Structure formats: structure tokens, C-alpha cells
Chains A and B, each alone.
Chain A
Amino acid sequence: MLALIKIEWLKIKKYPAFWWMLGIVALTYPGINLMFYRIFLQITTRKDMTGAVAKSLLGNPFAFPETWHSVGYFSSFFVMIPAILVIMIITNEYQYKTHRQNVIDGWSKEQFITSKILDVAIITIVASIMYLLTAAGYGFTVQDDNKANWMEEIKYIPLFLLQTFAQLTIAFLLGFLIKKAFIALGIFIFYFLIIENIATGLLKNVVKTSVGRFLPLEISDKLIPVPKFLGKIDEASYNQNLAEVNEHIVYTILLTAGIWWLCYFVYRKRDL
């Protein structure tokens, strides 16, 4: 396993897109959260009564412990940035035929897929570290006296990890099956931004069914429900979402494991 990580690191460390991804994530994760933080500040710093009421009702979503939840939720909007890298990494292997050469040089086909799981894991960890630093950064810097409870909601760290890994796995699957970077990227972004949101909305509001939560990305989206302060809009739904998290951990793990099993299966049968 360590040998595979070393080889993948040789491939990634000088790949410019990896460092671009890191840079963009380092900007967008704090950036999107800063945007929502400023909106929150605008509401809560009003001179009239509404500001004070809002503050007492909402709490500070960027203070400990809620920062783990809020920052995780907003940062997950940008999973498409590491997803682009994941798709590039697998489609590059096809474009350069290096996946074939790796096997010819002495890897088993299973080792090749395992090496790609490790790539996705490395990228997930990098994205999660960015999330962790952003969430902790807000937690420690926003004005709030209560910093002792910083550990309370840290369950969102493993949830963010799992969600990112699961969603990047779907991006990988698209690149793996489609083989062409731009087509796979287009489908992923179009599906992530438009199709699934429309489908979920239609299923929930028009068809009046909860089946939408089983759509591929929605399964893991449910791991980090809307933050508490937004949940106040529809508290019943918020509480139900919270109650469903454990169930969705199981679904996410099953779906992700199923996708990797499919990759192993297809690659073993496929001519390279």
C-alpha cells in the first residue's frame, strides 16, 4: 500500500493541476464562507431590534461548535474543484496510455484501481484539511466567548471526509467509464449543478416523494444537512434531516463501495 502511495505521489506531485486545485480550494473554501459570514453579520448587526432577535435566534454559525457544520456545508458546494482534478487524473492515464504501461511494467489491474482509490483518498484528505483549517480559523477568530466547546460538533470532520470521498468517487467513475476528460467533466458539472437539484426538487415538491434523497450525490449530500441557522426556516425538515444522517452514512458507504467494486470488475474484464 505504501509503495502504491509513493508511486501515485510521484505522478501527482509534479502535476500542475494538483497545485492549481490546492490553490483554488485554499481560496474558495474560506471565500464562500466569508460571503455567508458577511450576510450573517449584516443581519445581526442591525441597529434595530431585528438584529438582536436574529442573533439570539440563530446563534453564530461560524463560532464553535457550529462552525464545523456551517463551514462543512458551504465548502461542500465546491466539491467540483477537486472533482475536476480526479477526472483529469484518470482520463490522463487513458490519454497517455500510462494505465496500460503501469500494468505492462508489473502492476496487476487491481493494483491500478487501488492506486486510484488512493489518489481520490489523497485529494479528499487535502480538501478536508482545507475545510478543517477554514472551520477552525472561523471558530477561533469570530467574536464569541464560548471557545471551550470547540470539540462538540467535530463529527462533521469525518462526515465531510466521507462526503467528499463519496462524491469524488462518483466523479472518478464518470472519468473511468467515459475516458474523455471534457465529456466526463461536462456531465459531472451539469449533473452536480443542475440535473440532481432539479430532480430532487421535483421529486420532493411535485411528486411528493422522498426518493430524491437516494440520487447518487444526494445520498452523501445528506451527511451534512443545512446549518442550524438556515434550518430555522423549516425546523421539522431540519430535524428530520439530522435524524437521517446515520442512515445516510450507511447508504454512502454502500454506494461508494459499490462504485469501487464496479471499477475493479470492469477494469479486470477490460482490454487496456
Chain B
Amino acid sequence: MESVLSLNAISKSYGKIKALNNVSYNVPKGSVFGILGPNGSGKTTMLGIVLNALQADTGSFSWFGMPGSPATRKRIGSLLETPNFYHYLSAVDNLKITQAISQRGNEEDIHKALEIVKLTERKNTRFSTYSLGMKQRLAIGAALLGNPEVIVFDEPTNGLDPVGILEIRELIKELAQQGKTIIMASHLLDEVEKVCTHVAIMKRGTLLTAGAVDEVLSNEDIVEISAANMDKMVEIFTNYTGVTHIKKQESNNTIQLFLKLGEANLEAVNKHCFDNGIVLNHLVLKKKSLETKFFELTNN
């Protein structure tokens, strides 16, 4: 698949702190690419590097198969870290500057962008009078200005209320349907899981895993079962073929059987229980949640 962005062994240090350590991956065209990681994992540093705000110590990157340059950046709508605007100017005047520098869109597009992020009513008031959520909306509007083919969002839902978060999530889905490539850094797992097609997980500057969401998440099958006699259940599955490990969940009185990908057979599990005198009251094949995977990877 054609790559929009390719990172090749990017490293960056701040003194003794290694902010990025040999990070490489590709962002496929048309994907919604989520970059996940706890605070300080290097997500923003990495986006800063590919947007030329920061300089990598070693490594290289390319956009659309070309080295990063002002011309490639003009094709990318970006919100990096915080909404950065002239406080004494209105939303319209600020977007005029964005438009003039990026050469994306025209006067009409400025109003369209403001309409998408629901700032039309306040378009002529100074940026300094905006609430945190409105500032964030304007930054999203600036990134959308002129319909760029790639959009970079660094924590796009920061400062937004629940309705705003939902709207942005829907907007990202809509943009993805239009064939745009969206690169989104977030520490909100739920947000990434709901909208992303691809994911990269980072921890302390190191890339732990990257790929399509299904591939990253589904390297195991999880069968969740429940019955009256929990201890007996654990006992009969200890040596069951294919089970790699068993997790007892006291909170909801269930146990989880972890099997190699594709080896879970619910019918066989049910029969095994029945043959051993156990009647199940709960049997379900579960997909590993991004949250589980994330903690599994980042807690190691």
C-alpha cells in the first residue's frame, strides 16, 4: 500500500533523555493512523519532527515519497500540541494568515472551515476571548482549511466537552470516508479504538508496535466463561490444548482463557466443561481491547 509518511530510524535526545529511539514506520494512504502512548512517550516529539518544528538527531522521514519541505507541509493540515494563533486577531484574520502561508483554500474556504467547527457566530471576535474548547476548534478548523489531503491531529479532543469530543470523532470518520489520511496522536485509548484503522504504540521514545488495528490487537483469542464452580473450571482448563494462560476475574465471577489466534472453538470449550460436570452460564469469544493491549505492552 502506498505510504503518505515514512519514518526511518528517527532518534532524538534532550540531553540524557532519549525522546525518540530509532523509530520507523509507514503511514498508509487513506488510513486513520493513531499514535498511542502515555504522557512523555514521544508522540508530540515525533509529530514535531515530521512537521519540521523539531530536528531529529539521526534518521529521516518522507512525505508523499519526498523529503519533508515547505511544499510538502503546505499539503498537510496540522494541529500540533496547542492551538497557536495571534491573540489580538479574530478567527477569520487568523485563518487568513494560515491560508496565505499554506496557500490552501480561499476566503470562502475560511468561512466553510469555521462553519464545520461551529465558530461562525464568533468568527469576528478576538482569539484571546475564546474558551479552551473554542481555541481547540479553531485549531481543528485551521487544519481542515482548504481541504488538505493529510491531516495531523495532536490530541484533537483536548479541552473539548463531551459533545465536542463526539463531533470531532464523527468528523474524523467523515474525513476518513472522503479518503483523507489522518494521523492522530492521543493518550485516549477509547478515542483511537473508535476511529483508527491503524495504530502505533509508543513508550518512552520507543515504538512498541505498529500496524492495522486488527493485527495489533488480535494476536490472541480470549474465551470468557462463567460457572458456579470457578476453581473446578480453572483446574479442567489448566492443561487444555491451546490455552496459553488463564486469568481469573473475581469482579464478575468469570475466567478468561487465552488461546493462540484462531484456535478458540467455543463448542469444544462448552463440551469440555460439560464432560467434566460443569454447566456454563456464560460463554463468549472476546476481542482483546486496545486498552488491554496497551497496558500489556506499556507495563512490561
Contact = CB atoms under 8 A, between A and B. Distances in A.
Interface of A: 3, 6-7, 10-11, 14-16, 92, 96-98, 100-109, 111, 269, 271-272
A14 B93 CA distance: 9
Nearest to A3: B100
**Interface SS of chain B:** loop
B168 to A, nearest CB: 20
Interface string B114-154: 00000000000000000000000000001000000000000
30 contacts: A7-B100, A7-B101, A10-B96, A10-B97, A14-B88, A14-B89, A92-B86, A96-B84, A96-B86, A97-B82, A97-B84, A98-B84, A98-B85, A101-B84, A101-B85, A103-B53, A104-B51, A104-B53, A105-B74, A105-B98, A105-B102, A105-B142, A106-B73, A106-B102, A106-B103, A107-B70, A109-B52, A111-B70, A271-B54, A272-B53
Contact of B101 (A15, A16, A92, A107): A107
A103 B54 CA distance: 11
B84 A6 contact: no
Nearest to B54: A271
A123 B215 CA distance: 58
Contacts, number: 75
A11 B97 contact: yes
A69 to B, nearest CB: 38
A106 B54 CA distance: 14
A102 B53 CA distance: 10
A96 B85 contact: yes
Given A11-B86, A92-B86, A96-B86, A102 B80 contact: no
A102 B101 contact: yes
A45 B82 CA distance: 65
A104 B93 contact: no
Given A10-B96, A96-B84, A106-B101, 15 more contacts: A7-B100, A10-B97, A11-B89, A11-B97, A15-B86, A102-B101, A103-B51, A104-B51, A104-B53, A104-B78, A105-B73, A105-B74, A105-B101, A105-B102, A272-B53
B286 interface: no
Contacts of B71: 106
A10 B87 CA distance: 13
B109 to A, nearest CB: 14
A16 to B, nearest CB: 7
A79 to B, nearest CB: 24
Contacts of B48: 271-272
A102 B93 CA distance: 14
A10 B84 contact: no
